[in-house]
Amino acid sequence: MTEITFIEHNGKEHKVDAAGGGSVMEAAVKNNIPGIDADCGGACACATCHVYVDEKWLDKINPMGSMEESMLDFAENVQPNSRLSCQIVVNEDLEGLVVTIPESQG
Amino acid sequence: MNDNSQIIIIGAGQAATSAANSLRQNGFTGGIKIFGNENLAPYQRPPLSKAYMLGDTNVERLQFRSLEQWQGDDIEILPDTEIVKINAKEKFISDIDGNFHNYDKLIIATGSRVRKLNIAGSNLENIFYLKTLKDSDAIKGHMVAGKRIAIIGAGYIGLEAAAIARKFGLEVHVLELAPRVLARVASPELSGFFERLHTERGVHIHTNVQVAGFEGDDKLNAVLLGDGTKIECDVALVGIGILPNDELAKDAGLVCENGINTNSFAQTSDPDIYACGDCANREMGDKRMRIESVHNAIEQGKIAAAHIMGAPMPKLESPWFWSDQYEIKLQIVGLWNDATQSIVRGDMTQNKFAIYHLDSENHVLAVDAINSPPDFLVGKQLVFNKTALAPEIISDIAIPAKEFLKNIV
Ligand SMILES: Cc1cc2nc3c(=O)[nH]c(=O)nc-3n(C[C@H](O)[C@H](O)[C@H](O)COP(=O)(O)OP(=O)(O)OC[C@H]3O[C@@H](n4cnc5c(N)ncnc54)[C@H](O)[C@@H]3O)c2cc1C
Ligand code: FES
């Protein structure tokens, strides 16, 4: 299990245990984190799982695929540390990962 | 609503999950009970004809949460428990074991069931439908190289299964009554694209054909067409549409017309009973629509929860949908049916393009994006705002799609 902290736009924190091999989005859904709707269930088709990744983990997470990049290019409130959480694979290196949920998903 | 209030949800699927989550997120502190007639926690259906059937994901990941995780959220899930009656007057429901459960508010999220084909031989072995995890597992068992599958009905589920069957090396026949594939759900241009794609990948597409019967001893060995042609096959998958599960509602005296009628707050004709998802015929502007999609189920679940809690209504979106076939990702937003012009942007032969559907005044009503997320995401905003866009601008790929949004005020 890997600990991940989700921070809502209003600052509310949620610490959850995520299963290795699953996605950060799945960890959010399993714990009913507000703001991660994940309408497409991880098919990289909806961008409702958008998060900002804390700088410290940016080089530890798996790189972006072209579909994700292209979705993010057009999502709302995009920043340089934006990712689609359904495309981030959980592993031990991500222990303590912190992600923030954008205002548009608040 | 208070700590002692009891909310019951019938059906444990996508809409039920959304409603229960939103009730808790909106601060509901009373009891929530979800009754489902399948034997596992609520799960996603789209992967049943996509990643799950391909073997790229597993049951744990299909379920939104495990049964234990649901208990942790103080939401009681009762799997394997069919609800058989709603007593709207006295506000209780009855389950198949004869127990009664009282509610203050009831949410019906019973989804839909497959339409069955009742023709000669339909009881033979190896004829399948695709709705549940069990169905997907059963079909997957036949996805073996060299076998022959007949897919009856060229809707999204049928075509997704066709793509997977090809990947596993089966001989695939798609049999469709209408003159084109996806006739009920997609524009002629999009149908044409998918027909070409599947043909190129070796699928035998037969349109304008009537399936008259199945043949075989115990097991299926051929599908018989209306003109006498026989399509030899080992397995058949029938995907000819769904019917809303609205019988409980009808019995309880709720107004139903092709699904359970709901107003813009997801309320049925009884103000204490809501309906969400595939089973609901929702009011949308000046029409009613029964929409079969994940987005619709999630949105209506949120609407019902917000209304019960007196919370602000969620931000609505235009209906949208996706489909994965081979390496093609299709994303559709809006409803193309009232369009008078369809403008192609990009190169259809490169499998990366979009079709913009406009009315006679160039308002964007729908966008079909094929391997082209920018057109989908821009399209979402154009369709929502009913923006007018000149056809020559749409087809000019030198203009990035992002520029289209400048016209939205
Ligand atoms: C193979 C497949 C692929 C799909 N692909 C896509 C896709 O790519 N994109 C998309 O947007 N949509 C897709 N859909 C449609 C989408 O899954 C549905 O629209 C969505 O699941 C509807 O949610 P729901 O909650 O209304 O119904 P469901 O999720 O079907 O849940 C209803 C549940 O209620 C149960 N139930 C019914 N009656 C009773 C009763 N009396 N007592 C107890 N329980 C009861 C049912 O058994 C079921 O488990 C697909 C559907 C299928 C089958
Ligand atoms: S869940 Fe839809 S893009 Fe991540």
CA distances from B220 to A78, B137, B274 (A): 54, 19, 43
Nearest to A22 among B61, B331, B377 (CB): B61
3-state helix, strand, coil in chain B (%, to 5): 30, 30, 40
> Is residue B30 domain-resident?
yes
Number of structural domains in chain B = 3
B233 and B254 belong to one structural domain: no
Element spanning B248, H or E = helix B247-251
B185 and B218 belong to one structural domain: yes
pTM: 0.96
- Domains of chain A with bracketed CATH: 2-98 (3.10.20.30)
Ligand sitting nearest the alpha carbon of A75: 2
- Lay out the sheet containing B75-78: strands in order across: B75-78, B31-35, B6-10, B105-108, B273-275
Exposed / middle / buried, residue B288 (Cβ in 10 Å: 0-12, 13-18, 19+)? middle
Residue B74 has pLDDT above 90, yes or no: no
The pLDDT assigned to B73 comes to 78
What stretches of B168-201 show up as alpha helix (H) in DSSP?
188-200
Q: Fill in the amino acid letter for B269.
A: S
Nearest atom of ligand 1 to the alpha carbon of B291: 19
Show the tokens assigned to B386.
């009913």
- The mean of the pLDDT values for chain B is 96
pLDDT in tens, B338-397: 999 999 999 999 999 999 999 999 999 999 999 999 999 999 999 999 999 999 999 999
> Is residue B320 domain-resident?
no
The pLDDT assigned to A104 comes to 82
pLDDT in tens, B36-65: 999 999 999 999 999 999 999 999 999 999
B174 and B274 belong to one structural domain: no
Report how far ligand 1's centroid is from the alpha carbon of B113 (Å). Answer: 8
The pLDDT assigned to A75 comes to 83
> Is residue B170 domain-resident?
yes
B155 and B199 belong to one structural domain: yes
> Is residue B201 domain-resident?
yes
- Lay out the sheet containing B100-102: strands in order across: B83-87, B92-95, B100-102
Choice among A22-26, B64-68, B117-121, B279-283 with the minimum mean pLDDT: B64-68
B142 and B196 belong to one structural domain: yes
> Is residue B77 domain-resident?
yes
Final residue before a domain boundary, out of B256, B279, B309 = B309
Final residue before a domain boundary, out of B197, B213, B238 = B238
> Is residue B118 domain-resident?
no
B142 or B1, greater pLDDT: B142
Mutate which of B62, B95, B278 for ligand 1 pocket (most atoms within 8 A of beta carbon): B278
Whether A71 and B25 lie within 8 Å, measured CB to CB: no
Tell me, what CATH number does B184's domain have?
A: 3.50.50.60
> Is residue B122 domain-resident?
no
The pLDDT assigned to B146 comes to 97
The span from the CA of B135 to the CA of B114, in Å, is 11
- By residue range, what is the domain housing residue B188? 127-238
The pLDDT assigned to B409 comes to 56
B386 and B301 belong to one structural domain: no
Percent over 70 (pLDDT), chain B: 99
Whether B378 and A74 lie within 8 Å, measured CB to CB: yes
Please name the residue whose Cα sits nearest to atom 45 of ligand 1.
Answer: B11
CA distance A3 to chain B (A): 16
Q: 3-state DSSP call for residue B357? A: strand
Report, as an integer, the average pLDDT of B174-194: 96
Per-residue pLDDT tens listing for chain A (106 residues): 999 999 999 999 999 999 898 999 999 999 989 999 999 999 999 999 999 999 999 999 999 998 899 899 888 889 999 999 999 999 999 999 999 999 888 7
B269 and B172 belong to one structural domain: no
The pLDDT assigned to B20 comes to 97
Ligand sitting nearest the alpha carbon of B161: 1
The pLDDT assigned to B153 comes to 98
Final residue before a domain boundary, out of B183, B217, B238 = B238
CA distance B1 to chain A (A): 21
Tell me, what CATH number does B384's domain have?
A: 3.30.390.30
Residue B407 has pLDDT above 70, yes or no: no
The pLDDT assigned to A73 comes to 86
B284 or B105, greater pLDDT: B105
pLDDT in tens, B222-248: 999 999 999 999 999 999 999 999 999
> Is residue B296 domain-resident?
yes
B107 and B138 belong to one structural domain: no
